[in-house]
Structure 1
Amino acid sequence: MEKRKSSVVIAGGGSTYTPEIVATLVNNLDRLPLRKVVLYDNDEERQNKLAKACEIIVKEKDPAIEFLATVDPKEAYTDIDFCLAHIRVGQLPMRELDEKIALRRGVVGQETCGPGGMAYGMRSIDGVLENIDYMEKYSPNAWMLNYSNPAAIVAEATRRFRPNSKVINICDMPIGIEQAIADIAGLNDRKDMDIRYYGLNHFGWWTKIEDKDGTDLLPKVVEWVKKNGYITKDEIEDPQSEASWSDTYMKAKDVVALDPTTLPNTYLKYYLYSDYVVEHDNPEYTRANEVMDTREKDVFSACKQIAERGTTKGSYLEITNHATFIVDLTVALAFNTKERMLLIVENNGAIENFSADAMVEIPCIVGKDGYEPLAMGKIPTFQKGLMEQQVACEKLVVDAWEENSYLKMWQALTMNKCVPSAKVAKDLLDDYIEANKEYWPELK
C-alpha cells in the first residue's frame, strides 16, 4: 500500500538551517513521502538567498514535489499537513545584543540561557503564536513541530495561550549529546540506546543509558565524561568542532561532578558555572558574531553556488544530523510509529514531585494522535530545586509578556541563577527594554 504524501511548510524559511532541513526531508522520502514543500518567512530578501538552492535540492530528488517560497501566510499555510517552525524574531543582530548586553554587566551572555534567553523569549512569543494562528486558520488539521528558541519560554506560552492547538515543542540539543554518548559507549548510533531523561529544556539529566540487550552503559560513560566531558575519542584525535562548542562539551566534566549518578545536559554549565562562562567569553565577540562570520556566510555562499550552477553536485553545503529528529517526529505523527522521543510537554504528574503545569522535557511515545508522556517518578532534591527556580523564571517572563509588567520581568531576571543581584537584574532589564523597543510589549 502506497503511503500518503504530506505537505510541509518551514516557518523561518530564511534560517541557515533550512537547507539541511529540506535536504533531510527529501533524503527520507521512503519514510515520509512528500507532495509539497513550502518556505515561509517575513524577510523575503533573506529567504530568497536560500530558496533557489532549496528548490534544486527538492527537484533533484523528486521533480514531482511542488516547491514554493513565499512571504504570504495564506499561501504558505493553505493545504499543509505539518509546519516545522524555527523562527528567530530579530534575527542574529538581536541575538548579538542579547549576549553583549549581559556580558557587559558581567552576566552570562547566551541566546537561550540567562538574561539573554529571557530577552529573546519576550521577542519570540508573539511570532510563534502568530504562526500557530495562521496554521489553524488555513490548515486546521495540521500539526506544528515547534523548535523556535528559547524553547522553554515558547513552550510555556503555547501551553498558556494556545492550550488546544496541535503544537509539539521540541529541541535538538539532547539528540546531539546522545550521539556523543553513543560514540563514547562504543555504539554506532544513538538509536541503539534506551534512555531515560528528565528536566526542562536545556536543563536536564540522563538517568539511564542501556544498549538494546539491557546492558547498563551509564557508569562507563560517566567515567569518560568525568575526564573528557562529551568530547569523543575521535574528536580528541582529530578536533573539528568550533572552539565554543568544544568548550561546552568539555565543561560537562565539571557539571557531572555535582551528580555522578546522572549525565547532564551541557547547557547546565551556564547556570552552575556562570562565573567560568563570563570569564572565558569575549564581550566584544560573542557566539552570534561567530555564527554570522562562519555558518551564515558559508550557508549563503553554498546556496548561491547551487543556484548559479543549477545543481547540488560539487556543493560544499554541509548536511548534519540537526534535522533528523524533526523527520522522526513527523513520521511518527504521519504513520503512527509510536516512536519514543524527548519532547517538551506539560508535566501533569509525569514527574511525581514537580509542578503539574510546568513544561518539562521527558520521553514520550508519539503516534497519530500526538504524544503520551512517560512516568518519571520522583526526582532528587538537587535537581528538583534547580528546576523549580528555573521554571519560575520562565513563567514570570510569560507573565511579564501577558501583563505588560515591568515588575514581573524584573522578578524573572532577579530569580535567574545566572544573575547575581536584584540591582544587576534591574540594570539588565532597562538595557534590554531600550534594545527591544521594536519587539517587546511596553512594560509598565
Structure 2
Amino acid sequence: MEKKNLVIVGGGSTYTLGIVMSLIAEKETLPLNKLVFYDTDAERQEKIAKATAVILKERYPELETFEYTTDKSKAFTDMDVAFLQIRTGGLKMREKDEQIPLKYGVVGQETCGPGGMAYGMRSIPDMIELIHDIRSYTDDAWILNYTNPAAIVAEALQREFPEDDRLLNICDMPIAIMKSYADMLGKDVWDLVPEYFGLNHFGWFTKIEDKDGTDYTEVIKEKIINEGFVPTDEEIANDESWKKTFAQARKMLMDFPEFLPNTYLQYYLYPEALAAKEVPDNTRARQVINGRQRRVHDQCDHIISTQSTEGIELTDDVHGVYMVKAAASLMYHMNEIYIVMVKNNGIISNIPHDAMVEVPAMLARSGPRPFSVGEVPTFYKGMMENQLAYEKLVVDAYFEKSYNKALQALTLNRTVTDVEKAKLILDDLIEENKGYWPELH
C-alpha cells in the first residue's frame, strides 16, 4: 500500500496521544510516510509532540518523518489527509459555556443547548479559515473534521464550501456506544454493522447486526434493560460522568423502546433533571482539566524526562481507530461502512433535503455513499426538525450577525424553550465571547 502523509490539526489536544497510538495499532491499515502536528498554541503542542517523538521512536520506527509546527505551509504542504480537532477558546471557554446556562437552571454542556451554541459560534470562523488555509496548499487532501459541536460546524462548512467533496464531518460517539454493545455481546466492535439515523449527537440506532447478518438489536435492548448499560471504551470506561450518561441511556430506552438512543439525547429529553445534577464549580470542563488533561500531561512529562514509555500505560482508543480506519477506507477504496455526516438529499425522506444528517455510509475513493433511511416516525421527525431548525438558526446568526436569529435558536432549543431565559443566557454569552463571536445586531 502506498504510504500517506497525515497532519493532525490541534496537535496539542489531550486526545492526540490516543490518535497516535491508534495510528501505531493500525499502521497496516493506514501506513504513513510522514506525520505532522499543527497547532496555534506552540507551548501546549510541544509537550504532546515531544512525548510523541519518543513513542514513535519506540513503536513506529518505520515512520520516516515526524514534525510539529505552528507554520501552516509546513503543516499543509504535500498532505494526503488532515484530521481536525480544534477547540477555540480552550477548556477555559468550555467552562464558561457550561456555567452560564446553569445560572438560569439550564443544561450546561459543551455541544448541547446554549453551551453548544457558544462553542459553535466560536468554532465557525476558525474552521472556515482553517479549511481555506488547507485548500490553499492542497485541493486533493481528505479533510476529516471532528471538531465540536460537529452539527453546527458541519452546517456552516456546507454553506461555505458546498463544492468541496473531500471534506467529511465525522463523530466518534456512535462507535463508542457500539463498543459497549459489542462487549455485552462478546464481539469485536468492528464486526458489527449499524443502521442509524439522526443529526450529530441526536440520533438513534434502528438495527445492530454482525457481518454474517445476525440481528442483535433485541438482544442488546434486553441486556441494557435487564443488566444495565456502561461505557467500555478505554477512554471513558472509568469516568463517573460517562457512567451516569450510559445509565441515563438505559432510562431513555425504557421510556422510548422503539430504537437505541445516542447518549447525548439525555440533555434534550430530560433537561431539567440533567441541569439539576450539575455543580457549577465542577462542570465537565473542570473534571477534564483535573482528570484527563492532568493525566495526559503527567504521562508526557514522564516520557520526556525518561525518554522512554516504560511503565506508562498507552493504548489506542476506539475514537482514534475510527478516524484512522475511516480515512483508510476513503483513500484505499475499501468500501467499509461508517456513520458519518452528509447532506440529506432524500436519505431521510421526510425531513429537509439540505439537512446535514448522520447516517451509515460506505466510504470509497470517490467519497461517502450513504444508505437510504426512508421516512422516520413522527416523534423522531419532530425531534429532529426542531433540533435542525435550532442548528440552522445558529449558523444564520453567525453569517448574518443577527441577535434575533440567535435568540430564536435558543428559544427553540429543547434545553431552554423559555424566551426570557434565552435572552438572559444569550446576553451573558455575548459578553463572555467578545473577541470570539461576531458582533450581533
Question: SS at 1:443's partner residue?
Answer: coil
Question: SS at 2:421's partner residue?
Answer: helix
Match of 1:219 in 2: 218
**Deviation of the 1:234 alpha carbon:** 12
* Structure 1 residues 107-147: Cα deviation after superposition (integer angstroms, max 9, x where no partner): 00000011101110000011111111111111221110000
- Name structure 1 gaps, 5 residues minimum: none
> Is residue 42 from structure 1 mapped to residue 18 from structure 2 by the alignment?
no
| Alignment partner of 1:14 out of 5, 12, 15 | 12
**Kept after mapping to 2: 8 A contact 1:229/1:251:** no
* Separation of aligned partners in 1, 2:49 and 2:56: 11
Question: SS at 1:284's partner residue?
Answer: helix
Percent of residue pairs bearing the same amino acid type:
47
Question: SS at 1:257's partner residue?
Answer: helix
> Is residue 66 from structure 1 mapped to residue 65 from structure 2 by the alignment?
yes
| 1:25-424 alignment runs, 5 A limit | 25-60=23-58, 61-165=60-164, 166-184=166-184, 186-231=185-230, 241-424=238-421
Question: SS at 2:52's partner residue?
Answer: helix
**Deviation of the 1:229 alpha carbon:** 4.5
* Separation of aligned partners in 2, 1:366 and 1:116: 32
* Separation of aligned partners in 1, 2:20 and 2:239: 24
Q: Which moved more, 1:187-196 or 1:28-37?
A: 187-196
* Separation of aligned partners in 2, 1:317 and 1:299: 10
* Separation of aligned partners in 1, 2:278 and 2:405: 29
* Structure 1 residues 156-214: Cα deviation after superposition (integer angstroms, max 9, x where no partner): 01111111222100000111100111222x23212222220000011111111123333
Question: SS at 2:257's partner residue?
Answer: coil
Call closer, same or farther: CA 1:156–1:256 in 2, change over 3 Å. Answer: same
**Kept after mapping to 2: 8 A contact 1:344/1:361:** yes
Question: SS at 1:278's partner residue?
Answer: helix
* Separation of aligned partners in 2, 1:93 and 1:232: 27
Call closer, same or farther: CA 1:337–1:188 in 2, change over 3 Å. Answer: same
**Kept after mapping to 1: 8 A contact 2:231/2:237:** no
**Kept after mapping to 2: 8 A contact 1:299/1:317:** no
- Backbone CA RMSD of aligned residues: 1.7
**Kept after mapping to 2: 8 A contact 1:83/1:142:** yes
* Separation of aligned partners in 2, 1:257 and 1:429: 34
Normalising by structure 1, report the TM-score. 0.96
**Kept after mapping to 2: 8 A contact 1:365/1:372:** yes
In structure 2, give the amino acid aligned to 1:269.
Answer: Q
Normalising by structure 2, report the TM-score. 0.96
Q: Which moved more, 1:87-96 or 1:28-37?
A: 28-37
* Separation of aligned partners in 1, 2:431 and 2:53: 40
**Deviation of the 1:309 alpha carbon:** 1.5
* Structure 1 residues 411-430: Cα deviation after superposition (integer angstroms, max 9, x where no partner): 00010000030110010000
Question: Which contiguous aligned blocks of 4+ residues in structure 1 show a shift greater than 3 angstroms?
Answer: 232-235, 316-319
* Separation of aligned partners in 1, 2:196 and 2:377: 13
**Kept after mapping to 2: 8 A contact 1:227/1:253:** no
**Kept after mapping to 2: 8 A contact 1:228/1:253:** no
**Deviation of the 1:227 alpha carbon:** 4.2
Aligned residue pairs, count: 438
**Deviation of the 1:80 alpha carbon:** 0.5
- Name structure 2 gaps, 5 residues minimum: none
